[in-house]
Chains A and B, each alone.
Chain A
Amino acid sequence: MDSTFVSKTNNKTTTWKVVLPFYGYGAISFLIASFLLVCSTNNITQHYFQPNTLAIVHLMALGWGTMVILGASHQLVPVLIEQELYSNKLGYLSFCLAAIGIPLLVYGFYIFDMGWPSKWGGRLIILAIIVYLFNIAKSMSMRKQENIHTVFLITATIWLLLTAIIGLMLIYNFTYPLMPLNSTDYLPLHAHIGIIGWFLLLVMGVGSKLIPMFLISKYSNNKLLWLIFSLVNIGLLIFICIFLYSSNTLFFVFPIFSIALAVVLFVFYCYNSYQNRVRKKVDKQMKLTLLSILMMVIPIIFLIVIILLFIFQNDNELIIISYGFIIFFGWITAIILGMTFKTLPFIIWNKVYHLLAGKGVTPNPIELFNHTIFKYMALSYLFGFILFTIGLIINYQPIILIGSILLLICSILYNWNIIMLLIHKPVKK
């Protein structure tokens, strides 16, 4: 035997048993949030601080966005950090804590009771994040080499923890005066640490690895990724300082510029990956994912408009609500809709056909979900999103209602494909 042979390299991936519950939970949350959105179209344009809106936002941010991302990340962390996950049991524990905590919190908001349901919900969610953070940090500590994607991931999780802690403090602030101002005054701080620190940073960290990987791109630029990472974090830290210590709205231009520049550079990174791809054909799932990357620019434009309106003393509630909608039902939903069908079929294929590999012709992973349903899901999503946004901006109820119904249809079709995947039984060709 030639000496160039090496001992068997570790390639232990995370078990599907840890990952699938997160996807299932996320799908149901999306369905419920879409249903609540249809039920709330009459009062959604009034003010963002109201029970229905709080419930929908937290169901979308935690039940949908965070749960699917946590599930996918348990599978993708080994790919990102090139190191196996430290503990599957901690993955289960993190799921259980969040799965109990999220409905309690959402229920608390829905009935606008800041008593035990929302407090216990918040506590359990914080515990879930701590468990997840510990699991990721331990996994990373077993790896010797530094990796930019892991830095994104761990930093994003720390921001998520901070978001959840602030959120719980805001709940307590309703009953005990913990903070100098009202809880509602701190909502922009809580929301932006979560949106930028958690979602934006995580999507950038994971996307910068997965998008070139799926496209088989020749492009790689770690220096640019470090710059993007610095711009987002510096921007967010400046934002926090200005929010807490300055009353001059004009100063918010600096963090917005820093974060907007990071987003533009990330779009540039993805564009270069796309241009330098070896694999010429881009599938539907990747197209939706790439679209969601472009959609990252829209909230930035809205944010600039909001700041300009504040500067000119014109507090436009509808623009603020549209901004939140574009983030949760736009950018985050689009990326999840695309990436779910880029990752989940492979997890299911491994679960069902792993032991049949090489023993006969098995279906291809992408054949495990219905592509017609996917197409109609994507169409109903795009039209629903566009109509709802237009309806919000012009404050026209019938368009908002049609948009919300289309989004509900999208969530039903998404759940349909998810159920088909989750109950898939072996089929030999």
Chain B
Amino acid sequence: MNVITNNQLKCTIALSSLLKVMDPEIGLNIVDLGLVYQIDFNEEDKILYCMITLTTQFCPMGDSILLAAKEALQTAFEEYSIHIELTFDPAWNHKMLSDFGKEFLNQL
């Protein structure tokens, strides 16, 4: 799934930092799971907005995933204030998996 962004270069860096954030139940990172919907940069106020979903609403691991994503982005973009937003619109489904994610779940 393609991530919406207003800065492709920085988005690539952000996504590579989010590769470290895993969904502990599935054992796959949130980028390849397709949980990251949008990453935008407000250069004026130095704010990084990241919109994320979870595989299931009220997932018991949800807060930990969001916290880990925030930590990962903060480490990569120290000068930015990180704003993580959670959405379920649209709800996650298996079609959002990356090719690597699909292969990973097939081979597991």
Structural contact, A281 and B58, CB atoms closer than 8 A: no
> Is B88 interfacial (CB-CB < 8 Å)?
yes
* Contact of A5 with B38 in the complex, beta carbons under 8 Å: yes
Q: Choose among A7, A75, A82, A216 the residue that contacts B105 (Cβ–Cβ < 8 A).
A: A216
Contacts of A354 in B (CB 8 A): 63-64, 67
**Within 8 Å CB of B51, what residues of A?**
4-6
Tell me if A357 and B67 are in contact (CB < 8 A).
Answer: yes
List A38-85 residues whose CB lies under 8 Å from chain B.
75, 78-79, 82-84
Partner of A13, one of B60, B67, B68, B85: B60
Q: Which residues does A use to contact B, with CB under 8 Å? A: 1-2, 4-9, 11-13, 75, 78-79, 82-84, 213-214, 216, 218, 278-281, 343, 346-347, 349-350, 353-355, 357-359, 364-365
7 extra interface residue pairs, beta carbon distance < 8 Å, beyond A1-B42, A357-B64, A365-B24: A2-B40, A5-B51, A75-B60, A216-B55, A279-B26, A349-B61, A358-B71
Task: Report whether A8 and B86 are in contact in the complex, using a CB–CB cutoff of 8 Å.
Answer: yes
CA–CA, A364 to B28, complex, Å?
A: 12
Do the beta carbons of A359 and B71 come within 8 Å of each other? yes
* B27 CB, min distance to chain A CBs, angstroms: 7
Question: In the complex, which residue of chain B has the Cβ closest to the Cβ of A217?
Answer: B94
Known contacts A11-B58, A75-B60, A78-B58: A280-B94 contact under CB 8 Å: no
Inside 8 A of B70's CB, which chain A residues have their CB?
Answer: 358
The contact of B108 among A84, A280, A358, by CB within 8 Å, is A280
Q: Does B2 contact A (CB under 8 A)?
A: no
Question: Can you pick out 10 interface pairs between chain A and chain B where the beta carbons lie within 8 Å of each other?
Answer: A9-B57, A9-B87, A9-B88, A78-B58, A79-B60, A349-B61, A349-B64, A350-B60, A354-B64, A357-B64
Among residues 76 to 108 in chain B, which have CB atoms less than 8 Å away from a CB atom of chain A? 85-89, 94, 97, 102, 105-108
B68 lies within 8 A of A79 (CB): no
A5 touches B60 (CB 8 A): no
B83 CB to closest chain A CB, in angstroms? 9
Would you call B64 and A350 a contact (CB within 8 A)?
yes
Q: A11-B63, A79-B56 are in contact. Are A358 and B87 (CB under 8 A)?
A: no
- Known A84-B58, A358-B21; judge A216-B26 contact (CB<8 A): yes
Which residues of B are found within 8 Å of A4, using beta-carbon distances? 4, 38, 51
* Residue in A346, A357, A358 whose CB lies within 8 Å of B60: A346
Q: Which interface residue of A11, A281, A346 has the most chain B CB atoms within 10 A?
A: A11
Whose C-beta in chain B lies nearest to the C-beta of A359? B71
Quick check: A6 and B21 within 8 Å, CB to CB? no
B72 within 8 A of A: yes
- The verdict on A280 contacting B62 (CB below 8 Å), with A1-B42, A5-B51, A218-B94 known, is no
Cα-based distance from A78 to B61 in the complex (angstroms): 13
